[in-house]
Amino acid sequence: MTKDEFASLTYLQVKGTGLANTCTVVKATDTPSSIKQGTYNLTHLCMEPTAVTVKEDDEFLDTKLMTRLTYTLDEIRYTWWLSPSLSLSLSSSL
Q: How many helices (H) and strands (E) does the chain have?
A: 2, 5
Q: Number of structural domains, the chain?
A: 1
Domain residue limits at 70:
3-93
9, 10, 33, 66, 83 from 21: Cα distances, Å: 14, 15, 33, 14, 35
Whole-structure pTM value: 0.54
**CA 88/CA 81 separation, integer angstroms:** 6
Q: Dihedral of the CA atoms 53, 78, 71, 29 (nearest 10)?
A: -80
Each residue's pLDDT tens digit, 39-80: 888 888 888 877 788 999 999 999 877 766 667 788 888 888
Could you tell me if 20 and 10 are in contact, meaning their C-beta atoms sit under 8 angstroms apart? Answer: no
What is the reported pLDDT for 69?
Answer: 62
